């Protein structure tokens, strides 16, 4: 019989996901000889045998790979037959050119969950149970290839029993790098007070988990170490505790995330579509924003003014164990599980950082498996039966997107909601969510994570892309580096990310609405329409400029935006109107701000995000926000509650110097009239949204007529407003536009880094 030998270089998510045991069993099934091993590109396989059996092997390799793996490419070459006697898995090999598609952290699998509560199993109630199909991955990786010695598990020497499982090809834990048990693995410890002494971990005590549950039952707040960092956990039904947590964290109104043990507990609170059910139970275990089914009193404390709750299922063994002990006190416990951090600080992931949150916690459930890369919980929402990523971190990172670039690129991202992205060997890899770089701790997190990515991806960027805003720390970092630097305009980056994600070739109409981004004229843009492609853009329409009093301070105080808008509408007569916006200022403040408007001491802006804030202020919804975009979010909630039909407000669009200018003054004048007439605020809020949708529709119609373009890309943080997004898309599709929006890449500033990399690649001549 004819035989041959082939070498297969497998690239993709193929390390740490049970891929080599799968290959081994497959080779045995088809009677093939050879070997496989992890290398610094993925998995290398050499097999020899009958040609027909090798063909069957190759077909099954791609069709039946482990569920958590993802084969991206297979490079095949033929070799001389050498008479191999068996098939084996051999030690990993390194090369000078390291590049491995690393696996994300995933939730506990059903097999491990069953063993966790099996009294006959040696890992019964063991809080670090895992196998090749589940558990920590990216958060513990220190270097590549992905072997135990290059993870934070290296300090734990496997006992004989775990070692036997680890080496047994037929075991579910074969080469599961975090494998351990009570005798040899990490340990948990519950402590009541932090002190300077180093924590001494002994063997894990199940009593610590029972005590943790008891503390939560009694209304205490516990800092709980998980996979990507610490949560602050407490009983969601205990209103006194929830209020206390808000006071301690100085988080008076921002919604808290909830964690439930099972899908049945969630179904009692929220509506669940089939898509939402699938996502929330997925191995990634994100927080999913779900519509509230029946508004219960405790929900106002959890998510004030919201129609949605952010809910996730337990995903780490320690979570399931806490629920296990909590059921002694309650049949269906529900936890607040919010990030353990101070406001605008990064998530706490190291024991020495716990002092930052010691005043928020009554106790600390710790463990001694180090976290190499901290990562917050990811946040998603479902729109048109598609998963929309809002915050991309644990479970979704690292994400390897196909990206053909001639050079290695580091894109440094924006100032708010920062992420960065690095390209290498045909992929673009984005970072975990980092946060607001104005906070020095987040900037340190930014620097540390870039250094880690450079190490594990073995890359030194040749090109560094950055925002044009000179005060962004991400920009200042880029300008300090010894590499070619390419500046990318903020809103072009937004739209380029959407073009790239949706594989839109050629030019499109770009609609980019957000809070703030530096424009080419040094004004603050944010309500823009462009004719754009990846390589460049032309500003084709925008909202008429208005003044921002105190620039960034306006984002924190919607009343400032309203003051500016009302001054533009009524001048010195503005104070004749009895509006909540103006009542929010004392006499001295009114005089100061009126003087600033008269002397034009403000920043010019076209920001749609600030117009939403201004409307919320005039409606009396909110004058000072407790968290970013709170006023706009509550305006959306109010509008979503409206049941009925209405026309839009009036507006004017004029063409000046080759671009359309959208005058917001007519519809804000009508809004003021409706507010003074005490019309239904839900109606006013909905009518405001409908006006924005109609403006977008009309401008896009004009631009299609002018430029003959039918594709529309939508980006920017304002389009996290799903009511607006739905109105806009339905209007545009009714006129046969092809509309593209974000799904895999966040539409907010977390997506900026992807767009920067895409634009930079285009500028150096890469055909994406």
Q: Is 468 helix (H, G, I), strand (E, B) or coil?
A: coil
| 556 burial level (CB within 10 Å; 0-12, 13-18, 19+) | middle
> Which residue, chain included where needed, has tokens 């729109």?
383
Tokens of 352: 């020495």
N- to C-terminal Cα distance for the chain? 46
Output the domain CATH number for residue 590: 3.30.420.40
Instruction: Give me the sign of the Cα torsion angle 740, 746, 750, 754.
Output: negative
List C-alpha distances in Å: 393 to 234, 251, 435: 23, 22, 11
CB 431 within 8 A of CB 453: yes
Active site residues: 20, 38
DSSP letters spanning 179-235? ---TTTS--EEEESS--SSPP---S--HHHHHHHHHHHHTT--EEEE-SSSEEEEEE
- Can you tell me the distance from the alpha carbon of 623 to that of 583, in angstroms, rounded to the nearest whole number? 10
Structural domain includes residue 143: no
33 and 58 fall within a common domain: yes
| 160 burial level (CB within 10 Å; 0-12, 13-18, 19+) | exposed
Structural domain includes residue 160: no
- Can you tell me the distance from the alpha carbon of 317 to that of 396, in angstroms, rounded to the nearest whole number? 19
In total, the chain counts a number of residues equal to 768
pLDDT of residue 511: 98
613 and 653 fall within a common domain: yes
Output the domain CATH number for residue 61: 3.30.70.100
450-479 per-residue burial string, b: 16 or more CB within 10 A, e: under 16: bebbeebbbbebebbbbbbbeebbbbebbe
Of 40, 34, 46, give the one whose Cα is nearest residue 7. Answer: 46
Given pLDDT bands bounded at 50, 70 and 90, which one contains residue 186?
very high
Q: Give the count of beta carbons closer than 10 Å to the beta carbon of residue 303.
A: 21
Most distant CA atoms of the chain, gap in Å? 97
According to the 3-state scheme, what is the secondary structure of 12-46? EECCCCCHHHHHHHHHHHCCCEEEEEECCCCEEEE
pLDDT of residue 768: 61
Structural domain includes residue 477: yes
Q: Which residue has the higher pLDDT, 66 or 211?
A: 211
201 and 56 fall within a common domain: no
Report which DSSP code applies to 358: G
Position 198 pLDDT exceeds 80: no
Mean pLDDT for 595-609 is 94
State residue 381 phi and psi, 5-degree precision: -145, 155
Reported as a single tens digit per residue, the pLDDT across 317-363 is 999 999 999 999 999 999 999 999 998 899 999 999 999 999 999 99
Domain final residue pick, 367, 382, 406: 367
680 and 607 fall within a common domain: yes
- Can you tell me the distance from the alpha carbon of 355 to that of 358, in angstroms, rounded to the nearest whole number? 5
Position 92 pLDDT exceeds 80: no
Tell me which of 39-43, 426-430, 499-503 is least confident: 39-43
Structural domain includes residue 755: yes
Tokens of 249: 């964290």
Tell me which of 145-149, 218-222, 647-651, 679-683 is least confident: 145-149
Given pLDDT bands bounded at 50, 70 and 90, which one contains residue 196?
low
pLDDT of residue 96: 60
State residue 39 phi and psi, 5-degree precision: -130, -175
355 and 404 fall within a common domain: no
Given pLDDT bands bounded at 50, 70 and 90, which one contains residue 527?
very high
Structural domain includes residue 645: yes
List C-alpha distances in Å: 114 to 118, 190, 556: 6, 25, 48
Q: Is 421 helix (H, G, I), strand (E, B) or coil?
A: strand
418 and 545 fall within a common domain: no
- Can you tell me the distance from the alpha carbon of 620 to that of 601, in angstroms, rounded to the nearest whole number? 26
Please tell me the number of Cα atoms within 13 Å of 669 on its side-chain side: 11
Tokens of 394: 């644990």
pLDDT of residue 73: 86
564 and 449 fall within a common domain: no
> Which residue, chain included where needed, has tokens 């404390």?
301
Tokens of 667: 């519809």
List C-alpha distances in Å: 523 to 328, 384, 526, 546, 766: 59, 35, 10, 10, 31
Tokens of 545: 């400029």
Pinpoint the alpha helices (H) of 536-680: 553-556, 558-570, 580-583, 587-598, 608-618, 630-640, 665-676
pLDDT of residue 253: 95
Pairing of strands 659-663, 537-543: parallel
588 and 724 fall within a common domain: yes
Q: Give the count of beta carbons closer than 10 Å to the beta carbon of residue 682.
A: 17
Q: Give the count of beta carbons closer than 10 Å to the beta carbon of residue 201.
A: 13
Given pLDDT bands bounded at 50, 70 and 90, which one contains residue 704?
very high
- Give the helix/strand (H/E) hosting 697: helix 681-707
- Can you tell me the distance from the alpha carbon of 358 to that of 356, in angstroms, rounded to the nearest whole number? 6
CB 234 within 8 A of CB 331: no
pLDDT of residue 98: 66
Reported as a single tens digit per residue, the pLDDT across 100-122 is 788 899 999 999 999 999 999 99
231 and 326 fall within a common domain: yes
Whether the ω angle into residue 145 lies within 30 degrees of 0, i.e. cis, is: yes
Partner residues linked to 671 by β-bridges:
none
Structural domain includes residue 680: yes
CB 379 within 8 A of CB 286: yes
Q: Give the count of beta carbons closer than 10 Å to the beta carbon of residue 167.
A: 13
pLDDT of residue 87: 92
Mean pLDDT for 18-47 is 90
Structural domain includes residue 163: no
Domain final residue pick, 71, 89, 107: 89
* 395 Rama class: left (phi>0) / alpha (psi -120 to 50) / beta: left
Position 661 pLDDT exceeds 80: yes
Position 613 pLDDT exceeds 90: yes
Of 15, 49, 45, 17, give the one whose Cα is nearest residue 32. Answer: 49
- Can you tell me the distance from the alpha carbon of 767 to that of 401, in angstroms, rounded to the nearest whole number? 15
Q: Which residue has the higher pLDDT, 685 or 85?
A: 685
pTM greater than 0.75: yes
Reported as a single tens digit per residue, the pLDDT across 537-556 is 999 999 999 999 987 899 99
3-state helix, strand, coil in the chain (%, to 5): 35, 25, 40
548 and 488 fall within a common domain: no
DSSP letters spanning 323-353? HHHHTTT-SS-EEEEEE-S-TTSPPP-SGGG
Tokens of 213: 């549950």
What is the CA 632 to chain-centroid distance, rounded? 20
566 and 711 fall within a common domain: yes
- Can you tell me the distance from the alpha carbon of 417 to that of 321, in angstroms, rounded to the nearest whole number? 33
User: Could you give the number of structural domains in the chain?
Assistant: 4
- Can you tell me the distance from the alpha carbon of 274 to that of 73, in angstroms, rounded to the nearest whole number? 31
Output the domain CATH number for residue 260: 3.90.870.10
CB 98 within 8 A of CB 144: yes
Tokens of 603: 């920043």
Position 453 pLDDT exceeds 90: yes
Given pLDDT bands bounded at 50, 70 and 90, which one contains residue 1?
low
Tokens of 642: 């409206």
- Can you tell me the distance from the alpha carbon of 338 to that of 301, in angstroms, rounded to the nearest whole number? 14
Instruction: Give me the sign of the Cα torsion angle 181, 186, 187, 190.
Output: negative
pLDDT of residue 602: 92
Structural domain includes residue 409: yes
Output the domain CATH number for residue 420: 3.30.420.360
Q: Is 260 helix (H, G, I), strand (E, B) or coil?
A: strand
Position 735 pLDDT exceeds 80: yes
Of 112, 98, 181, 183, give the one whose Cα is nearest residue 141. Answer: 98
331 and 439 fall within a common domain: no
pLDDT of residue 144: 84
Given pLDDT bands bounded at 50, 70 and 90, which one contains residue 220?
very high
Tell me how many degrees the CA angle 578-581-585 measures, rounded to the nearest 5: 95
pLDDT of residue 401: 93
pLDDT of residue 211: 97
- The parent domain of residue 79 ranges over 3-89
């Amino acid at each position: 019989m004819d035989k041959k030998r082939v070498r297969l270089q497998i690239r993709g998510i193929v390390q740490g996901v049970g891929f080599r045991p799968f290959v081994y069993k497959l080779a045995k099934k088809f009677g093939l000889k050879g070997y496989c091993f992890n290398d610094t590109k993925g998995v290398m396989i050499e097999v020899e045998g009958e040609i027909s059996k090798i063909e069957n092997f190759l077909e099954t390799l791609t069709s039946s790979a482990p569920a958590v793996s993802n084969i991206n490419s297979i490079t095949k070459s033929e070799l001389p037959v050498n008479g191999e006697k068996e098939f084996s898995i051999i030690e990993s090999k390194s090369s000078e050119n390291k590049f491995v598609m690393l696996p994300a952290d995933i939730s506990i699998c059903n097999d491990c969950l069953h063993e966790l509560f099996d009294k006959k199993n040696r890992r019964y109630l063991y809080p670090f149970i895992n196998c090749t199909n589940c558990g920590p991955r990216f958060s513990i990786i220190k270097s590549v290839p992905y072997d135990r010695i290059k993870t934070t598990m290296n300090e734990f020497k496997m006992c004989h029993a775990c070692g036997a499982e680890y080496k047994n090809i037929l075991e579910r834990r074969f080469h599961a790098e975090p494998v351990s048990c009570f005798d040899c693995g990490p340990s948990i410890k519950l402590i009541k007070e932090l002190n300077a002494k180093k924590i001494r971990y002994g063997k894990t005590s199940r009593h610590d988990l029972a005590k943790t549950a008891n503390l939560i039952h009694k209304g205490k707040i516990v800092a709980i170490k998980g996979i990507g960092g610490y949560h602050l956990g407490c009983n969601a039904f205990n209103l006194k505790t929830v209020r206390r947590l808000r006071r301690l964290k100085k988080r008076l109104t921002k919604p808290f995330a909830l964690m439930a043990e099972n899908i049945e507990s969630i179904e009692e609170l929220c509506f669940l579509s089939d898509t939402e059910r699938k996502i929330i139970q997925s191995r990634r275990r994100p927080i999913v924003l779900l519509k509230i089914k029946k508004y219960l009193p405790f929900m106002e404390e959890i998510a004030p003014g919201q129609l949605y709750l952010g809910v996730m299922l337990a995903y780490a063994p320690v979570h399931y164990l806490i629920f296990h002990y909590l059921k002694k006190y309650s049949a269906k416990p529900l936890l607040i599980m919010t990030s353990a951090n101070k406001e605008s600080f990064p998530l706490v992931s190291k024991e020495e950082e716990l002092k930052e949150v010691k005043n928020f916690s009554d106790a600390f459930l710790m463990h001694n498996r180090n976290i190499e890369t901290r990562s917050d919980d990811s946040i998603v929402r479902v729109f048109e039966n598609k998963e929309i990523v809002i915050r991309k971190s644990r479970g979704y990172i690292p994400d390897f997107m196909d990206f053909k670039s001639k050079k290695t690129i580091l894109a440094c991202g924006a100032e708010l909601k920062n992420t960065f992205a690095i390209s290498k060997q045909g992929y673009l890899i984005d970072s975990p969510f980092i946060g607001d770089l104005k906070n020095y701790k987040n900037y340190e997190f930014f620097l540390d994570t870039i250094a880690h990515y450079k190490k594990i991806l073995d890359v030194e960027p040749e090109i560094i892309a950055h925002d044009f805003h000179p005060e962004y720390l991400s920009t200042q970092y880029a300008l300090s580096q010894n590499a070619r630097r390419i500046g990318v305009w903020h809103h072009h980056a937004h739209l380029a990310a959407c073009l790239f994600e949706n594989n839109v070739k050629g030019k499109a109409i770009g609609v980019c609405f957000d809070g703030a981004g530096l424009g080419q004229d040094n004004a603050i843009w944010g309500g823009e329409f462009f004719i754009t492609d990846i390589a460049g853009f032309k500003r084709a329409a925008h909202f008429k400029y208005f003044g921002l009093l105190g620039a960034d301070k306006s984002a924190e105080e919607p009343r400032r935006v309203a003051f500016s808008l009302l001054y533009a509408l009524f001048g010195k007569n503005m104070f004749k109107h009895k509006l909540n916006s103006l009542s929010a200022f004392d006499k001295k403040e009114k005089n100061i701000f009126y003087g600033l408007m008269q002397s034009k001491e403000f920043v010019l802006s076209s920001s749609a995000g600030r117009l939403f804030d201004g409307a919320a202020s005039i409606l009396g919804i909110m004058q000072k926000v407790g968290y970013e975009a709170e006023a706009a979010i509550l305006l959306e909630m109010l509008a979503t509650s409206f049941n009925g039909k209405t026309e839009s407000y009036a507006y004017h669009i004029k063409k000046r110097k080759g671009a359309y200018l959208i005058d917001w003054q007519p519809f804000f004048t009508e809004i003021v009239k409706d507010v003074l007439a005490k019309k239904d605020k839900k109606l006013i809020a909905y009518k405001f949204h409908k006006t924005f949708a109609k403006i977008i529709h009309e401008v896009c119609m004009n631009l299609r007529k002018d430029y003959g373009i039918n594709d529309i890309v939508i980006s920017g943080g304002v389009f996290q407003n799903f009511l607006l997004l739905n109105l806009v898309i339905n209007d545009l599709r009714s006129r046969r536009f092809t509309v593209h929006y974000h799904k895999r890449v966040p539409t907010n500033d977390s997506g900026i880094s992807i767009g920067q990399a895409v634009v930079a690649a285009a500028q150096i001549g890469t055909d994406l």
